[in-house]
Structure 1
Amino acid sequence: MKKIAYLIKRYGVKNVVLRAINDVLPVNLIFPSQQLRRLNWQEKVKKKLKKYVVISDSIKSEEECDIIWWLWFQGLDNAPAIVKKCRESVDKYAKRSGKRVIELTSQNLFEYIEVPNELYVKYKSGSLPLALFSDFCRISLLSNYGGLWIDSTVLITGEIEDEILNQDIFMFQASPLDYSVTKISNWMLYSKYPGHPFISSIRDTLISFYNKNNTIPDYFLFHLLVSCLIDDNRINQSFYDMDYYTNTYPHLLGRVLSEPYDTLKFENILRKTSIHKLSYKNLDNVAEDSFYNAILGLDFS
């Protein structure tokens, strides 16, 4: 019952019921996995989200931004060990690349962004999960200032390629070989300049949705709204101009955190990418010889 109450609080009664019906419809029972049923659900949600699309008339600035935005609401001192290690790696990268890190917490975040009242109320009441509020924060920061957003659980083990940073905007994308409704990842986002129309359109579309809704239809709301914009010929050219980088390689290290450490496997992953999306969850009882503990032992001084 607690789980049902939690789902209703987050997604609303209507969406919980519709999702349950979606999963037991005869046509969906033929799908061999929960993943396929989820994709079917997200396709339905996406169609309903298109009415919230807002195309921004923002004009990008020509002044490049060298800021790395990094957020942990409770402050770095209260972060899990893996988050602190990720931050060390970001600081080292920033130092050698000439960028500056702005650390954001619940105490200083609102010095940098303005939050519509409807969204702020949801944040303060706890009805909007911090992860989804963070989605709004990151895109607002990039719209207002530009720069590089790096999630608190992203580890940087080398350089971020010039091919990424020379683009006007960047986000990792799902492989075209894997059918995905969400299409992109948002744990690392980049906008070379403030006011980029595609970035600002994401922000304005999020605001459009939250102004009219008290609950969310899917945890990946941000991604689904971006997918709607990708389908919109009025604004999508800048997305298709962006170089493609798969989001597959950055997840390789995160998938083996609890496994026994293997030097060859670790080096192989590092050859594929210097950007790694990790997690701080379910790591309390991992073995001493795990990848997780090996990462905690890395020196980024």
Structure 2
Amino acid sequence: MAKLSYITQYISDISLRLFVIKAIRSLCYKNDSRISWKINEWNERCVANYLRHEIENISIDFPTLLGKPNPAVPANSIFIMWWQGEQNAPALVKVCIESVRVHAGKHKVIIISQDNINDFIHLPDFIKRKVQQGNISFTHLSDIIRLNLLTLYGGAWIDATVFCAKNIPESLFEMPFYSIHFGKYTKDPSHGRWTTFLLFAQRDNAIVKRTLEYHYKYWSKHYVIVDYIMFDYLINEVISQDERLNKLVDDTPIENQDVFELMEHLEDDDFQFKDFINSHDTTFYKLSWKHKFKDTDKVIGMLKGL
């Protein structure tokens, strides 16, 4: 979608006011000044209010849209998605997937792609149509897919660019809901309480299920996403309506605090990779396949050598 076309459609589908607010916020997002934080809070409040109003006034037949689970799928599986198929993934993604397999214990690792997605979930026709038309990006389709999988089967969703450095604790599969709560207050609506790139949940978990329902409500009406991180906004809306669910999130232990740190050091001179992993109490590290490494082969070799 061309930029001008996107702007026109956003204003038409959402509102000029919200477009201007988001534009102002984007100009100062990376600034750490007090006024920047105030503008960010203003933006967050406006987007949240807009979504709340939309969700309250849209009715859908969610149980029918959800579909039925495939009984052949093992309980507590780990789901990873690479839309083009694992064989076509970049080298860093392949290394990350293999790192999860090595540390998955008894849990089956299932790679979701465009070739097998229909074996696991049912996507409503309006979602498929809006993906084909370019209204829903593959990034935001993956949000819908992970919520479907966890609602129907439980288990874990791990992004394809998460490197797993240690055995995945069995306790994560036993919790009603788990995500990385790294204890650092951020400018996104999660404020460091969860990450959407790594989620564990019991089947039919209320946080996951209601967030999926809110996605369907939104996309049943709209053609443009209100905010790139709408997923976070919708989780926040779900837990803000139910103190029990909010407590479930707040009680998630603070851990994996260095989840983004490995990416910052992979190209350091004389970086001691194994010493770094052993000295950090972190299991999961978020990487990026889009990053242009100075020596990709060296980085891949280092990650493989753990």
When normalised by structure 2's length, the TM-score is 0.79
1:275 aligns with 2:281: no
Deviation at 1:171, TM superposition (A): 1.4
| Aligned counterpart for 1:297 among listed residues 289, 302, 306 | 302
The corresponding residue for 1:254 is: 263
Give, in whole Å, the separation in 1 of the partners of 2:171 and 2:143.
25
Q: In structure 2, the residue corresponding to 1:185 is in which secondary structure? A: coil
Cα displacement string for residues 214-265 of structure 1 (whole angstroms, at most 9, x for unaligned residues): 1111000111000111211266256347423356421111233444451179
The corresponding residue for 1:155 is: 163
Structure 1 residues 255, 43: closer, same or farther in 2, change over 3 A? farther
Deviation at 1:106, TM superposition (A): 0.6
Deviation at 1:176, TM superposition (A): 5.8
Give, in whole Å, the separation in 2 of the partners of 1:159 and 1:101.
14
Deviation at 1:81, TM superposition (A): 1.1
Cα displacement string for residues 105-161 of structure 1 (whole angstroms, at most 9, x for unaligned residues): 111112211112211111122221111100000010000011111110000010223
AA in 1 matched with 2:210: S
Between the two proteins, the alignment pairs up a number of residues equal to 287
The corresponding residue for 1:204 is: 213
Deviation at 1:16, TM superposition (A): 8.2
1:43 aligns with 2:37: no
The corresponding residue for 2:126 is: 118
When normalised by structure 1's length, the TM-score is 0.80
Question: Mind listing any 5+ residue stretches in structure 2 that lack a counterpart?
Answer: 67-73
Q: In structure 1, the residue corresponding to 2:280 is in which secondary structure? A: helix
AA in 2 matched with 1:21: V
Q: In structure 2, the residue corresponding to 1:148 is in which secondary structure? A: strand
Q: In structure 2, the residue corresponding to 1:48 is in which secondary structure? A: helix
The corresponding residue for 1:185 is: 195
Task: With a CA cutoff of 8 Å and minimum separation of 6, indicate the structure with the bigger relative contact order.
Answer: 1
162-171 vs 261-270, which deviates more? 261-270
AA in 2 matched with 1:236: L
| Aligned counterpart for 2:153 among listed residues 131, 145, 151 | 145
Identity %: 22
Give, in whole Å, the separation in 1 of the partners of 2:280 and 2:290.
26
Cα displacement string for residues 66-108 of structure 1 (whole angstroms, at most 9, x for unaligned residues): 21111100011211111011011011112xx111111111111
AA in 1 matched with 2:229: F
Structure 1 residues 83, 266: closer, same or farther in 2, change over 3 A? farther
Which residues of 2 match residues 23-62 of structure 1 at below 5 A? 23-24=23-24, 32=33, 37-51=39-53, 52=55
Give, in whole Å, the separation in 2 of the partners of 1:73 and 1:187.
15
Give, in whole Å, the separation in 1 of the partners of 2:77 and 2:189.
30
Structure 1 residues 223, 266: closer, same or farther in 2, change over 3 A? farther
AA in 2 matched with 1:113: I
CA RMSD between the two structures: 3.6
Deviation at 1:293, TM superposition (A): 3.1
Counterpart contact for 2:256–2:284, Cα < 8 Å: no
1:128 aligns with 2:136: yes
Structure 1 residues 19, 230: closer, same or farther in 2, change over 3 A? same
Counterpart contact for 1:92–1:300, Cα < 8 Å: no
Give, in whole Å, the separation in 1 of the partners of 2:227 and 2:250.
28
Counterpart contact for 2:82–2:112, Cα < 8 Å: yes
The corresponding residue for 2:234 is: 225
